[in-house]
Structure 1
Amino acid sequence: MTLALGCVADDYTGASDLANTLTKAGLRTVQTIGVPADDLALPEVDAVVVSLKSRSIPADEAVARSREAAAWLNARGAGHLLFKVCSTFDSTDEGNIGPVTDALREDAGEAIALVTPAFPETARTVYLGHLFVGMVPLAESPLKDHPLNPMRDSNLVRVLARQSRAGVGLVDLATVAQGAEAVGARLDALAREGKGAAIADAVLDRDLAVLGAAALTRKVSTGASGLGLGLARALVAAG
């Protein structure tokens, strides 16, 4: 079996949300709890979401578990790997979004990964690299006081850079508005500058389709269910 999309989710609830999003967008999707056994017989599906509980554990453990999940998905021919994170991007300065993204990107042999937690349908948008919850920046919203990972900085380029070994750049909304090819060109330019990840703006539903199409030209991306929706729509459109 060859999967169109393999997903590694950093918690069970978010994994369920992603699986539901992919299914509604037209992908036949299976969700697992933990990394399945090698002999698991899958039905004919387009996507598999492997649910982990790795968001708030030590970074090295999160990397190890995510790599195990990615290896299982890659062994089934996953055409693209999405590291699914929360739409509030909640994480400490040590990770785990940056370390896992770095590891999965490097394992895939990619120079740069597109990253966005945007999901306008749930009032999560990113503009000039800043995450908004409804009409206010993340750091001014009630979510700033997350019980495990308080988020006091809305600038995701800065947040991710504190966690990542490589530099972090920005794909701004003006570039996204020009389409997937422009996004791809911007990613290439950032990679030449030594950036390993790029936060991508998205404020409207149509922005997700652009980002999904751009992300599919590479092997790995990181995002919330909104990016999953963009990936699913791009895959369905491609037939």
Structure 2
Amino acid sequence: MKLGVVADDFTGASDIALTLAEAGMTVAQFIGVPQDDADPTLGAGVVALKSRTAPLEQAIAQSVAACKWLLAQGAEQIILKVCSTFDSTPDGNIGQVLDALADLLGENSVIVCPAFPENGRSVYQGHLFVNDRLLSESGMQDHPLTPMVDADLRRVLAAQSNRDVAHIPAVVVQKGAAAIAQAMGATAHLITDAISDADLIEIGRAAKGAKLLCGGSGIALGLPANFNVTAQPPKWVAITGHGAVFSGSCSRATREQVARYDAPSLQIDAARAVSGEYNIAQIADWVMAQTTPPLIYSSADPEVVREAQTQYGQGVAAEAIEKLFAALAPALAERGLRRLVVAGGETSGAVVTGLGLRALTIGPRAAAGVPLVTAGGMALALKSGNFGGPDFFAETLAMMEREA
């Protein structure tokens, strides 16, 4: 294994696994820290954790354990994969986990770059943009768990880290790998500007030999070439049969996808989820009785989410809904569900945990940052809330049925 990735959620893990697979690396995505050794022929291993919103001590312990396992498999370089919207809270967990991994690896200078230009995420003058809007004006300011009200990544990271935070500006990045490498001499976490894939490739070239990087999936664009890997697209064997869509994300993109999806649907009510009123078996039977893959969703406008938080407390309603999805997924698998699209990082984590999956095989892209994956004879697409076009649900379910 050449590259090891510690990912702070499940959709982010799939996202960077796709980037590495499309670059020609043999990749496996592991659910949690594996107990056994990996296939020695792997080029990259991605360990998917649910640490983005976990209690801080738990997030650090899991991330360090994942890093140690990857090092034991021979990984020469570690990436801390975070969301391309860098979402966290002033209390963590990105900065503290990054500090812990840097201490473990003895790394004093760490590039930090969540840019993902293909999906409209760019870093300029140390600020994170979503398309032409600052992160704090993009809708992420309304995230129910990790609201991002500041687009200045220097301030965001400095509030979480014990280390100095510095900046590599675009004027340096655009001079190329040598200039970036020279700037990496600073003893600090280095917020690094990137507005194009070309910038990310130069950052990757500059990071050859670095023990640790931090960023979104775009940070991996330039890294496989350092190991003399050539690009080739992942293959896909068609999977047909019953399908369904789960949506727990409240992002603007996902709410539009929910509105556009023309199929039978069931909206999960927060109050009923908290009180445990839903009958999982009845919902599963209803899903399997549909001729069109139905939608089960809890996605709601920010005002509705805030009302639920006020009524039940921060995270209580979200946890109850995640538990429902975690129970529903295996109930459907037992009934023969073959295709499942999931929107939202926390929802995806709940589904994967509920299904008891330990590893995923990475297939071709369904959208930028979203691969098709297989596990246990089932096709899945685990989508970060902000990713995918308006008709992502229908298009992805159809793609699962085609050879590639």
Structure 2: which amino acid aligns with 1:25?
A
SS in 1 for 2:201: helix
Equivalent in the alignment of 2:368 = none
Instruction: Please say if 1:206 is aligned against 2:203.
Output: no
For the Cα contact (< 8 Å) 2:40–2:73, is it kept in 1? no
Deviations 1:94-138 (A, max 9, x none): 111101111111111111110010010110000010000000110
For the Cα contact (< 8 Å) 1:35–1:69, is it kept in 2? yes
TM-score by length of 2: 0.56
- Structure possessing the higher relative contact order (Cα contacts under 8 Å, 6 or more residues apart): 1
Give, in whole Å, the separation in 1 of the partners of 2:175 and 2:226: 16
TM-score by length of 1: 0.93
Deviates more, 1:140-149 or 1:7-16: 140-149
Equivalent in the alignment of 1:218 = 210
Give, in whole Å, the separation in 2 of the partners of 1:225 and 1:237: 17
Instruction: Please say if 1:49 is aligned against 2:46.
Output: yes
Provide the aligned C-alpha RMSD in A: 1.5
Give, in whole Å, the separation in 1 of the partners of 2:110 and 2:56: 19
SS in 2 for 1:230: coil
Deviations 1:148-206 (A, max 9, x none): 10000000011000100011000111110111121111120x21xxx2x0100000110
For the Cα contact (< 8 Å) 2:122–2:130, is it kept in 1? yes
Equivalent in the alignment of 1:58 = 55
Structure 1: which amino acid aligns with 2:196?
L
Instruction: Please say if 1:227 is aligned against 2:233.
Output: no
- The runs of 5 or more residues in structure 2 that have no matched partner are 232-404
Give, in whole Å, the separation in 2 of the partners of 1:174 and 1:91: 28
Deviations 1:194-226 (A, max 9, x none): x2x010000011001011122233100100000
Structure 1: which amino acid aligns with 2:218?
G
Give, in whole Å, the separation in 2 of the partners of 1:238 and 1:129: 32
User: 1:77 aligned to 74, 77, 87, which one?
Assistant: 74
User: 2:7 aligned to 3, 6, 9, which one?
Assistant: 9
- The runs of 5 or more residues in structure 1 that have no matched partner are none
Q: Which protein has the larger Cα radius of gyration, Structure 1 or Structure 2?
A: 2
Runs of 4+ in 1 over 4 A off after TM superposition: none
Task: Report matched runs for 1:17-166 at 5 Å.
Answer: 17-37=15-35, 39-42=36-39, 44-166=41-163
For the Cα contact (< 8 Å) 1:27–1:236, is it kept in 2? no
For the Cα contact (< 8 Å) 1:145–1:151, is it kept in 2? yes
**What's the offset of the Cα at 1:44?**
1.3
Matched positions, count: 231
Structure 2: which amino acid aligns with 1:23?
A
Percent identity between the aligned chains?
48
